[in-house]
Amino acid sequence: MCGIAALQLRNPSLHPRMGTLLSSMLCQIVDRGPDSAGLAVYDVPGLVSPGTSTLSLLGRHQGRDASIITASLGDLLPSDASPTVQIIGDTTLVNAAVPTDLLVKAVSETLPGSTITGRGEHVAVMKSVGHPMEIAADHGLESMAGSQGLSHTRMATESAVTAGGSHPFSVADDLCLVHNGSFSNHATVRRNLLREGVVFDSDNDTEVGARYIASRLTQGDSLEEALVNLGRVLDGFYTLVVTTADGMAVVRDPIACKPAIIAETDDYVAMASEYRALAALPGIGSARIFEPEPGKVYTWSL
């Protein structure tokens, strides 16, 4: 059993409250996953910057001082890249004015063995082991402004309790996935993706789903099409939430074994594993509230 809380803010006047609202939602799903937790936040000033790429690295200790990492990256990147490195809670954020792939290459050379947990122009990903609200506080969630937020509390069932096994999984630019449930044939799908040259960072079945979606998007699928194809390939019981730079999608397995509830207004779309996580949102009394239908993909855009 895991918990999911996701929020897309359509009304820019709510962006300053993103962290406060997501934190209140997260608080209500802690008991669904006390092992570990993760966050993906979009367009948060100070974490990401327009026109630049940001990498989220697992852990605050990368074996080298942040100033030394910054200097090493500066030697590898173009002179106008202006790399920066900052520590937020248990996460290291690396930013530079270069394409993401070039920044990934430079970080891999500078910090071999580091694990990239998030990448893109808009998203920062933070995850760790421990009590979800302590993880949120360590990363300063409540004070964050932004356009979208995605959170997950994990009760591990098919792989070890590790920060790397926590959700979200972000395996392509600004793409994140969280998952409540399990994929029964993930090993088979993993082998197929490995044959295609896909590289994995963990043994988690959710990463298989994330890598599959990223592969389908690369092949030209829309997000909705990628999730429809996922339902044809991956078996199991699940609720998935996927976020992109400007979109959010929700899908449940064909028999809707795992819970999900959605609240939609002109100002926002929110999804959670339980209604109590939605109850304190502004305007909830007049929101359209519904359970996603089995197997149906729901998508929204900013």
Question: 3-state SS string over 82-101?
Answer: CCEEEEECCEEEEEECCCHH
Contact 259, 276 (CB under 8 A): no
Scan for tokens 């071999």, then name that residue.
Answer: 112
Q: What is the pLDDT of residue 157?
A: 65
Q: What phi and psi values does residue 60 have, to the nearest 5 degrees?
A: -90, -20
Q: What is the pLDDT of residue 162?
A: 73
Q: What phi and psi values does residue 76 have, to the nearest 5 degrees?
A: -95, -25
pLDDT, tens digit, 9 for 90 and up, residues 209-259 = 999 999 999 999 999 999 999 999 999 999 999 999 999 999 999 999 999
Q: What are the residues whose beta carbons fall under 8 Å from the beta carbon of 75, sequence distance 6 or more?
A: none
Q: Which residue type is seen at 171?
A: V
Q: What is the pLDDT of residue 8?
A: 98
Q: What is the pLDDT of residue 201?
A: 87
Superfamily of domain 3-48+122-301: Aminohydrolase, N-terminal nucleophile (Ntn) domain (3.60.20.10)
Q: Which residue type is seen at 66?
A: A
Rg (CA), the chain: 18
Q: What is the pLDDT of residue 121?
A: 98
pLDDT, tens digit, 9 for 90 and up, residues 249-300 = 999 999 999 999 999 999 999 999 999 999 999 999 999 999 999 999 999 9
Q: How many CA atoms lie within 13 A of 63 on its CB side?
A: 9
Q: What phi and psi values does residue 69 have, to the nearest 5 degrees?
A: -60, -45
pLDDT, tens digit, 9 for 90 and up, residues 199-217 = 998 888 999 999 999 999 9
pLDDT, tens digit, 9 for 90 and up, residues 160-200 = 767 777 889 999 999 999 999 999 999 999 999 999 999 99
| Catalytic residue from among 2, 27, 176, 257 | 2
Q: What is the pLDDT of residue 159?
A: 63
Beta strands at 84-88 and 91-96: parallel, antiparallel or unpaired: antiparallel
Q: What percent of the chain has pLDDT over 70?
A: 98
DSSP 132-201: HHHHHHHTTGGG---SEEEEEEE--SSS---TTTSSPEEEETTEEEEEEEEETTHHHHHHHHHHTT---S
pLDDT band at 63 (very low <50, low <70, confident <90, very high): confident
Where is average pLDDT lowest: 16-25, 48-57, 125-134, 218-227?
125-134
Q: What percent of the chain has pLDDT over 90?
A: 84
For residue 71, with 0-12 CB atoms within 10 Å meaning exposed, 13-18 middle and 19 or more buried, which class applies? middle
Residue 27 is among the residues annotated as catalytic for this protein: no
Residue spans of the domains in the chain: they are 3-48+122-301, 54-121
Q: What is the pLDDT of residue 158?
A: 61
Which CATH number applies to 54-121?
3.30.70
Q: What phi and psi values does residue 176 have, to the nearest 5 degrees?
A: -135, 150
Mean pLDDT, the chain, whole residue set: 94
- Region 35-64 average pLDDT: 93
Q: What is the pLDDT of residue 165?
A: 74
Contact 18, 41 (CB under 8 A): yes
